[in-house]
Structure 1
């Protein structure tokens, strides 16, 4: 018999009948301040670690595993919060060396429990703790005392392991009658002790009297949740407890209802052996056969007529076998011409065709098909007229479409994809689907097969021989920050798991084959194991065969990347400008962002685009409408960091004119579905209050996030490695259709003048990026470090502005096909085996024509640059490099980021400007590198609104033809614009900047010769041309007069 009871359950499982207990004291902190007579005690020696009353989330790292919503997750209400994690932070080892812990507690005033024979303490709380260097008394201790000196303590942490993120508050009940019953003076204390991090939130503290008759089911004692070995004579056991104030002395029954239809009953003979208050009792059920299924859903229920509280009479449990596999086919059902079902015992699995190149495999281990994700990830379940023919080939069923063949083997049930001729294996399961607490598909893989996808994985893009967590694990290298349950293979297939359940993909398994080497040893094969933490399997399969085809298929199902407004392609600036904290550098309010930051951009002639003036917990804002107006005058759009909801978005967007939401901690609730829905709500909140486009930054990506949000890699310390591993981080995210993927320029912690400049340089060749100030000694504006860094940063930001039509076109391509702008080399050169693995992971293609090889070391030298087939030209010097070769010791002084242009390139550019719309874009520069026949289909719309969805956009096809590798006539054809939109230029001046090693003999526009003129006359705006042999190995410069964009234009450069 126990003298005290601690019952923990998830808040979501509580029932309103709990409130029927006799409550005689409670505190919910709704006043937003510490109650009178309470005390807060900081036990540390050198740091301020106080409990606070707040309605805000834990303000530590934004990393998902360190986030927590406010404790009153429904009301977002006030609660007590202790947050040592933000004090100890990265300094845990130093604290440990000092033998000091960030201990602290709060204590109530005296509570009168006179006349209360039994007293139960109830409260809800949420916490996360780390077991690094914990002390001997480590715990979250709830104390009860009559004098404030001598305490009876209960550790409410011991049921939850270290580093566990609880998404729903825990409801605690502790019987404290031993100390509190019939006492005039009772104090309560909540004490964080001998743990370094992370947080503890406490709310809704209440003292009640227990029910007289109250039995509670606690836990299953005969089986674990997973890892069970079921038998034919299994005995289920469950533990209950008398939590009432009176003994139970009458017989009662407990039932166990299994999801296979069985119902077991056990009788408790309490009349002969009464159950005293606080006594536990184990109930055993009659033996039953549990070998028929791999998992069971069981509902245990107490049948005791006198019980006064029903909410704790029921215990629902899921029991999983250690591992079960699909077995022999026992039944086949043709549901329709596109849907087929295969049965093996209780398990059922469907094969469903959506298109000739897309099908779905959906497993129900217990025969009940479930889809928890519903319509959250998949945007289109429509059947698109697949042409499927079926045949029974003896050992397998064959399903043929014009694109591929799906085989379903019968004994045991296994799946494979072949080419349309049923000859070449595309993928094949090495063993049947395995299920239990986790569901795993094991695939055979070839030794030369490579894999991509998995979302944003820190420092990775290619996974052959590697593993990837499909859950957020951290923000350091080799961790996962924005995962996606999707991968694709160079064999020509892709897989999307339709789930929000975390997973793990291991592309490094092996198996013993039924073949021998010549020396008699078994032949070793390669496998991949794809696992998610759920007892169901639901996957969409795509046949490409190209990686670009697969990205298009994947985003047909999960949604296309959002189409950014053009201003979103410029650099953003974020900080808190409405709170006088030490970290902000000066006491200020929101309007101060105008003089302190926006005017500085103007003063330093620095390109700009958008600003987040309230980036910080509790930062808030004042005078928002006037701030938005003034920032707009200076070329900025305004966004807001959104702590816990979009309830004000109609005012912020519709009235004040904000156009961006950055979502943080309070948005990440229980799992990735909450985060995805938060992105959707913010995105649609913007678009519902303006005709402009939504723009969201979110902390936690998943499949489908690309529809709404930019994903960034987290709050990180900058150094040279930070630059290095973020190159494959961003290109890898692109291989999951995350076109808007980035990281903060130079991180938010640490940093230096050189790492800032080097990091900014390469990111101008990606779609979206920003800086975040306020977390390091130096802020992150591009002028902070002075000369020469200011000038270099300005140079690259101006280049990004000029490249907007190039980037915007590729963002539209991403929006329509899923193919990102920042591309791993394999995406453009899939037939070049050098690009498939990690060999070229520190370089990438920006669109089809620009190859970027960032400098990520202190040296002004870049090694290991690989050139795929063809000629490549140094963007800065014009030097030619031959394809199929490597380049080492490329000299890249601080003002140079290695960029190389692919032969045949067509790069459209706008005039020099510091923000979108500062000047007319009626002069279009075409940076040309002629080689054979190439083209660029320029996309333009109004750059701001959603009218493009109504068809209000224009495409301009620009084609260039010339001899391959030799001097000859260069013809530039600019087709008339197809389509229209408000503000489209009816006329344009064209500036051609053409690579040529020799001077032409003539230039004509629409058949009319242009005059050769001086560079001075050219720069003054005169129509004509000139040749500059000293400019990048030779350039021909051509300027036209204003030409109609509604007519085809032809410019010929003759030699």
Structure 2
């Protein structure tokens, strides 16, 4: 297979053609739909050709994991697109094996050309094609016919190289007078044939009468817009075409300018060799040296006396070198929050937004661009960093309170230091740019790397090579939600502000590249990984704050197979009630083509049974105003059929769904999606995709969820026991540990058995119920962690390195099969068909077995830990306070009038409980409450203090019962509350090796409650 250069470059525009003759037919697709009476081909078999009209970019596909920009800006409107590569995608080898091609044509409605003595077809287009196992007669054909049966066709690739982007639209002009002049019915056809990928964009179709004298430049033949290997001996070649109705039989010239300077004037001797109507001819210029700069602006002009269409006489195009290495500093100046530098024609900026956040930009030609706009970085305000900029003969230095950036001059090399002078990173080679932009850093043996989004099966990336692109399926090694962000254990993070794909090589090469001809990177300086996550989410947005019900179990399937959506009530919802099973929400239409009926009444009936209703979508959220505002749905699951293109396309989809819910209700947005990118964490649960339930599925999901959290993907998960396969045991084991993650869902309809938690019968039903009930009781603990993520970017599910960064055991893969939920719980899922668990590492401190009360010293590894099927290895760190609500099967089933505090004493312990109304967006206005709780030893006693609540919110109780569960091995002599002796307490030395239970009674939440245990 040929090596495909994945490239993206913003280039100078071309003057669009506007002939003197006004068009008598025009189609610009401004309606946003396929025009009336246009027909799309029908092909026998499974392939359904799809020409679409859109204003979105081409979404990306196999071997081209990036988005090609639309032919015209969104402000200009829609265009017509054929996206073959999106449909063949990673299955392309099967297409080839079966000798199938994604062929498809679209035919216009008949056009009346009566009375037109000559006819010229004009249109703009861009395309990218793949010369990999092409079919016979492969090409991009434009045809004309008067009977819709017999066609005259032209392959309009016109010598364009395969596998390269054409970012400047080309205007085609074809004189079709021979076939169309004076014809009452003329059909136009656009036909993709015999090519497996990638796309063809067409816009601004016109028919005009031909001018008599009209020669235009067609395109540059010698070079692509990007990816060129420019040398000292280059020849420029362009094609020209006679678009007029008459033969040109006189001399004329074509001038070539390079970077504004005239290079050569070529004479075309059409007197000796006439240029016939419709004829295309190549013009070749002399040899030129193009090795001295990273890119060049080429300007070609035709000088023909009497040319009636001067607008098509000029072609302006920028070409760039495949790779240019940044040279020495030639000039620099101070800016208000940084500096700007120059190396030849290349310019760079260093901009500080805060003392610990700065940005490095590079523009090859000095014209800075930001294709990502404000989609990834949503906050780039300058917070008055305190900068000291100095210079010596060798370097420039920019110092802030957080660190210092050193910029070597010859050549330009960057190095970053923290405030103590420790090197955080240093470039090994200067930045290189062209087809891709690469930063190569010096490798440190003791350095570890994290982040990069959801990389299935991985969280610690030292000595690995990661692709920052969607794809590779859904299993171990898949990339369902990649992110161009990473963190280093040395104390820094980096975000490449781009939607273009990349490769992060964390081996001793330490090379970080993206396929774009610009460099745009934000750097974060932090004393901890938590600090870096805080900086990263400060500019990209914090993780979304879910409602309480959104943390409960979700259920999905196509329950509308018989066309009666209300069936979900008796088939599923009533079964949850019958089985006394905790629940939160249902997707009744999760399946291709499933649809829904009587949605409004279904929503009402499901709510009576404790369910919110959501909808699965395969093609957009255009009906969301009605579905949310009128029918009452409250969540969206976005299928790969819609957001599968990934990158900006998927980010926009998540945003549209999230904001659609919030604009049409007072609820918080709730979206499940795949193919996310940096910024998707603001809107969506990150979901790992469709897999098969087995022990391997459980194994690789543990580091997957840890790793997602290290990119601020706080709500990350996969279906319980996957959607395919599965078994009684794997269902139980998978559900157990996922009850200690923020969100979870089960999906039926794809395996032999459905996936509800009672399907396998006893004892499995009871085990599943027990863990789901525990998850419901732990709601206030989890909800407080959700607020922490919303405020700081620090995830609820944490790799041990987040809390114990100085413990070398936590940095690599030794702890990849366990995690912390907040600071208190350590969860070690069983991922083998065994009744024991090996390799449980307990970090610093003392840890108590949640089930039997055994206390273990930290900094040891437990092997052969007894873990029968009903037991998840679960530990609590001594010095923890765990809040719990009353047992209930769905949110708001019962009032939250009793707060249980599960206390594990160890010196002085502090905990702050966060609460709000649990469902509205009022918390964003500061309408919430916190309660500070302490447990501490004091002279022969233990004192628990529940401080008066701070803040308020709608529905907050004025009074609340407090119940204390204190793990201790000594029965107290007496207990007082606010100085008064109480009798309502019990101590049992046989429960968890000692448990004191205190019923404190009902108290005003605005009063301090002090419990003294002697």
**TM-score, normalisation: structure 2:** 0.85
Following the alignment from structure 1 to structure 2, what is the Cα–Cα distance between the partners of residues 39 and 90?
Answer: 22
CA 1:551–1:303 in structure 2 vs 1: closer, same or farther (change >3 Å)?
A: farther
Q: How far apart are 1:926 and its partner, in Å?
A: 1.6
Other-structure match for 1:533? 515
Contact 1:462 1:838 in 2 (8 A): yes
Q: How far apart are 1:210 and its partner, in Å?
A: 8.4
Asked if 1:921 corresponds to 2:887, the answer is no
Asked if 1:986 corresponds to 2:930, the answer is no
Contact 1:230 1:321 in 2 (8 A): yes
Other-structure match for 1:1024? 985
Which structure 2 residues correspond to residues 951-962 of structure 1 after superposition, within 5 A?
951-962=926-937
Q: Secondary structure at the match of 2:446?
A: coil
Contact 1:485 1:703 in 2 (8 A): yes
Q: How far apart are 1:501 and its partner, in Å?
A: 2.6
CA 1:549–1:205 in structure 2 vs 1: closer, same or farther (change >3 Å)?
A: closer
Alignment partner of 2:999 out of 1035, 1039, 1049: 1039
Which structure 2 residues correspond to residues 545-556 of structure 1 after superposition, within 5 A?
545-556=527-538
Other-structure match for 2:974? 1002
Q: How far apart are 1:200 and its partner, in Å?
A: 9.5
Q: How far apart are 1:959 and its partner, in Å?
A: 1.6
Other-structure match for 2:383? 384
Following the alignment from structure 2 to structure 1, what is the Cα–Cα distance between the partners of residues 654 and 1010?
Answer: 46
CA 1:299–1:823 in structure 2 vs 1: closer, same or farther (change >3 Å)?
A: farther
Which structure 2 residues correspond to residues 500-899 of structure 1 after superposition, within 5 A?
500-510=499-509, 528-578=510-560, 586-664=561-639, 668=643, 672-899=647-874
Q: Secondary structure at the match of 1:791?
A: helix
Contact 1:761 1:897 in 2 (8 A): yes
Contact 1:101 1:193 in 2 (8 A): no
Q: How far apart are 1:808 and its partner, in Å?
A: 0.6
Contact 2:61 2:86 in 1 (8 A): no
Other-structure match for 2:942? 970
Following the alignment from structure 1 to structure 2, what is the Cα–Cα distance between the partners of residues 433 and 885?
Answer: 44
Contact 1:746 1:755 in 2 (8 A): yes
Which structure 2 residues correspond to residues 15-34 of structure 1 after superposition, within 5 A?
none
Q: How far apart are 1:1045 and its partner, in Å?
A: 1.6
Q: Secondary structure at the match of 2:508?
A: strand
CA 1:251–1:508 in structure 2 vs 1: closer, same or farther (change >3 Å)?
A: farther
1:940-993 superposed Cα distances (whole Å, 9 cap, x missing partner): 000111111222111111222249xxx974332211111111111222222222
Q: Secondary structure at the match of 1:555?
A: helix
Q: How far apart are 1:549 and its partner, in Å?
A: 0.7
RMSD between superposed Cα atoms in Å: 4.8
Other-structure match for 2:409? 410
Q: How far apart are 1:649 and its partner, in Å?
A: 3.2
Alignment partner of 2:906 out of 921, 931, 942: 931
Contact 1:28 1:79 in 2 (8 A): no
Other-structure match for 2:440? 442
Other-structure match for 1:427? 425
Following the alignment from structure 2 to structure 1, what is the Cα–Cα distance between the partners of residues 858 and 592?
Answer: 51
Contact 2:128 2:200 in 1 (8 A): no
CA 1:399–1:147 in structure 2 vs 1: closer, same or farther (change >3 Å)?
A: closer
Other-structure match for 1:1048? 1008
Following the alignment from structure 2 to structure 1, what is the Cα–Cα distance between the partners of residues 824 and 192?
Answer: 57
Moved more, 800-809 or 1039-1048: 1039-1048
Moved more, 933-942 or 297-306: 297-306
Following the alignment from structure 1 to structure 2, what is the Cα–Cα distance between the partners of residues 205 and 227?
Answer: 28
Q: Secondary structure at the match of 1:790?
A: helix
**TM-score, normalisation: structure 1:** 0.82
Moved more, 663-672 or 429-438: 663-672
Aligned residues: 994
Q: How far apart are 1:890 and its partner, in Å?
A: 2.9
Other-structure match for 1:1014? none
1:625-661 superposed Cα distances (whole Å, 9 cap, x missing partner): 3222222222222223345555443333333322223
CA 1:919–1:259 in structure 2 vs 1: closer, same or farther (change >3 Å)?
A: farther
1:851-905 superposed Cα distances (whole Å, 9 cap, x missing partner): 1222223334333221112222222233333322222333333323222222222
Following the alignment from structure 1 to structure 2, what is the Cα–Cα distance between the partners of residues 756 and 163?
Answer: 45
Alignment partner of 2:471 out of 445, 470, 473: 473
1:268-315 superposed Cα distances (whole Å, 9 cap, x missing partner): 333332233554322234655534421234454555577777887665
CA 1:683–1:1053 in structure 2 vs 1: closer, same or farther (change >3 Å)?
A: same
1:448-479 superposed Cα distances (whole Å, 9 cap, x missing partner): 10111112222221121112222223334323
Following the alignment from structure 1 to structure 2, what is the Cα–Cα distance between the partners of residues 69 and 630?
Answer: 45
Q: Secondary structure at the match of 2:707?
A: helix
CA 1:204–1:68 in structure 2 vs 1: closer, same or farther (change >3 Å)?
A: same
CA 1:709–1:299 in structure 2 vs 1: closer, same or farther (change >3 Å)?
A: farther
Following the alignment from structure 1 to structure 2, what is the Cα–Cα distance between the partners of residues 232 and 1043?
Answer: 85
CA 1:688–1:251 in structure 2 vs 1: closer, same or farther (change >3 Å)?
A: farther
Q: Secondary structure at the match of 2:441?
A: strand
Moved more, 491-500 or 297-306: 297-306
Structure 2 residue runs without a partner (length 5+): 1-9
Q: How far apart are 1:1043 and its partner, in Å?
A: 2.0
Q: Secondary structure at the match of 1:840?
A: coil
Following the alignment from structure 1 to structure 2, what is the Cα–Cα distance between the partners of residues 205 and 368?
Answer: 29
Following the alignment from structure 1 to structure 2, what is the Cα–Cα distance between the partners of residues 324 and 53?
Answer: 39
Following the alignment from structure 1 to structure 2, what is the Cα–Cα distance between the partners of residues 21 and 383?
Answer: 51
Contact 2:70 2:201 in 1 (8 A): no
Q: Secondary structure at the match of 1:452?
A: strand
Other-structure match for 2:296? 296
Q: How far apart are 1:826 and its partner, in Å?
A: 0.9
Contact 2:17 2:171 in 1 (8 A): no
Following the alignment from structure 1 to structure 2, what is the Cα–Cα distance between the partners of residues 694 and 900?
Answer: 33
Contact 1:69 1:669 in 2 (8 A): no
1:769-809 superposed Cα distances (whole Å, 9 cap, x missing partner): 32333344433332333333333322222221111111110
Following the alignment from structure 1 to structure 2, what is the Cα–Cα distance between the partners of residues 787 and 201?
Answer: 57
1:21-52 superposed Cα distances (whole Å, 9 cap, x missing partner): 6769999999999979998452x5xxx55668
Moved more, 492-501 or 774-783: 774-783
CA 1:33–1:856 in structure 2 vs 1: closer, same or farther (change >3 Å)?
A: farther
Contact 1:51 1:83 in 2 (8 A): no
Moved more, 586-595 or 68-77: 68-77
Following the alignment from structure 1 to structure 2, what is the Cα–Cα distance between the partners of residues 836 and 895?
Answer: 30
Q: How far apart are 1:201 and its partner, in Å?
A: 10
Other-structure match for 2:460? 462
Q: How far apart are 1:349 and its partner, in Å?
A: 1.6
Q: How far apart are 1:622 and its partner, in Å?
A: 3.3
1:153-207 superposed Cα distances (whole Å, 9 cap, x missing partner): 9889999999999999999999999999999999999999999x89999999999
Q: How far apart are 1:208 and its partner, in Å?
A: 6.7
